[in-house]
Amino acid sequence: MKLRYLPLLALALPACTSNSTKTTADKTAATPADARFDRFKNRFILEFWKQNPDYASSQGFHKYDSLLVIPSDAQRRSDAAFIAQNLGALGGFALDSLSPSNQIDLHLLTNELRSERWYADTLKNWQWNPASYNLGASVGDLLNGRHYRLDRRLRNISDKIAQASAYYAAAKANVHNPTREHAELAVQQNEGGLAVFGAALADSVRRSGLSAAEKQQLSQRIAGAQAAVRGYLDFLKKDVLTGKEFRSFRIGKALFDRKFALDIQSRYSADEVFKLAQQHKADLLHDMGRRAARLFPKYCAGQTMPKDTLVLIRKVIDQLTLKHAPREGFVEAVKRQIPTLIKFVNDHDLLTQDPSKPLVVRETPLYMRGSGAGASVSAPGPYDKKANTYYNVEPLPPTWTAQQAESYLREYNDYTLQILNIHEAIPGHYTQLVYANRSPSLVKSIFGNGAMIEGWAVYSERMMLESGYGNNSDEIWLLWDKWNMRSTLNAVVDNLIQTQNASEADVVKLLTGAGFQEEAEARNKWHRATLSQVQLSSYFTGYTEIVALREEVKQREGSSFNLKNFNEQFLSFGSAPVKYIRELMLRR
């Protein structure tokens, strides 16, 4: 199966459990074929949860919290049989017999199952990615949840970790010719996962209402889980990382192109996105040069304006990025900005917000750190919509030198930090995922599309600035251009690294040159690109498709175009791929 716990992107894809509200595209008369397909979807989802209990938990479906899937050959055969059976069933539905919305659900389910088969049989990341296995991650989510009372959550944890030894034995058996980078990540995240079985869990057991016998059994199982995690860590450190058999983290063009098609589900191919990103890079540089020339006299008074555009832009950016949060106050600086963003969206009537859905800014849990994603969102799932959404912000590592910390803080300066918060929180990921909870289609939200999710977050940055956020100043637009250049170059370096063997030196030179990134950020991006494939292309791809769709709708509606209506209609379709949302919106 595809990995459901992604260390690089802590995004649960929420949905809605009710079909009581329908989007415009769903308001069509139900046909017998639609009714049959709806019954299939409901049955499929319930069976899918049992096959994927950790993913079910992340969506707020907690019936199978006590189950631990052992990643063995037997489980992979079970997964293959499940996929074959349901692909066969999907083949029994004629596409043109279904409503437009159900046609898209059929596409999504077919893609999901084919993708899982490809991941298992062709990509085989279960062999070369030891970071796939981290029991502490799922246990931490159960312990920190509020879906059941503490005693019930602890009983589920007890049942789940009873097979910790078998889980890690299967993990060891699976690991074959891994990448060094994923093995090192596995060590870091499992050491973080080990902390889940420490003092906080022990304290929860002590203050619970479990019987003395249950407490003793759970304490013994915790000790067993700790031993299993330590055994896996020993295996990684002594057997894997000391060996010489490492495969390259690069998957090559053929696998990259296929993974792009399955994961992104775009109108564009990987090659087309690569070319579009290079063109957009040129457009951004033109705009940055124009704005930097206007700002130069203000921030570099008395100096001769450089003739080299890249030097000119860099000089101005170097002055703007001097304003940043203190090293120890980075997470707190994020928290302070959230109310400002909420007020701006309300004052400018960009979206209808739901104040009843909590957003909690927190330090990224230890078991999620180390992947290179400095900020992320963990959102509640379809059956737990009232739960908190967590905005995870990774504090600066205490091991960093003053120079490393200053480089990072200048990258996330006072201007850029606002843009980051728009992207991750309001009206970016947090807002989009709240809307996804209202989608009448469980399928569109459960199997949410990463390019749509990331694309919306990037689009929301531009949309906020176009609406006047930052007073339309050249300062914030210049640093948004720089930030948008990051999304653009993400797609470029993703392709260059995976398909064209670009070196770390090549990538850092590109990102610190035309990307104007601080070296710490550039090297962090290289690290992240060694741990993922295609995901870095999702930002630019989704953003490009959303902007193009908005222009299509504008042209069609003319003077009657309303930005709020566009935003809310777009978000009403859950986290479906943009190409399918486009179909539904343009059919109106």
Per-residue pLDDT reduced to its tens digit, 36-70: 999 999 999 999 999 999 999 988 899 999 999 99
| Inside any domain, residue 277 | no
Q: What is the pLDDT of residues 396-417, one digit of tens each?
A: 989 999 999 998 899 899 999 9
* pLDDT computed for residue 15 by the predictor: 29
CB 26 within 8 A of CB 440: yes
* pLDDT computed for residue 26 by the predictor: 46
Per-residue exposure over 269-278, b if at least 16 CB sit within 10 Å of its own CB, e if not: ebeebbebbe
| Inside any domain, residue 35 | yes
- pLDDT band per the 50, 70, 90 thresholds, residue 14: very low
- pLDDT band per the 50, 70, 90 thresholds, residue 9: very low
| Inside any domain, residue 523 | no
- Count structural domains, the chain: 1
Backbone angles phi, psi at 377, to 5 degrees: -125, 130
| Inside any domain, residue 439 | no
| Inside any domain, residue 514 | no
**pLDDT for residue 8 is more than 60:** no
Backbone angles phi, psi at 163, to 5 degrees: -105, 25
| Inside any domain, residue 243 | yes
Go through the chain and tell me how many residues it has. Answer: 588
- pLDDT band per the 50, 70, 90 thresholds, residue 438: confident
Q: What is the pLDDT of residues 270-294, one digit of tens each?
A: 999 999 999 999 999 999 999 999 9
Which residue range forms the structural domain that includes residue 180? 24-249
Calpha distance 431→118 (Å, rounded): 32
Please list the alpha-helical segments (H only) found in 150-211: 150-161, 164-174, 180-196, 199-207
Q: Give residue for tokens 């097979």.
A: 163
Q: List residues bridging with 391 in a β-sheet.
A: 361, 377
| Inside any domain, residue 269 | no
| Inside any domain, residue 405 | no
**pLDDT for residue 18 is more than 70:** no
26 — alpha (psi -120 to 50), left (phi > 0) or beta? Answer: alpha
Average pLDDT, the chain: 91
DSSP code, position 163: T
Cis amide leading into 427 (omega within 30): yes
Say how many C-beta atoms besides its own lie within 10 A of residue 415's C-beta.
23
CB 257 within 8 A of CB 468: no
- 411: tokens are 């990258």
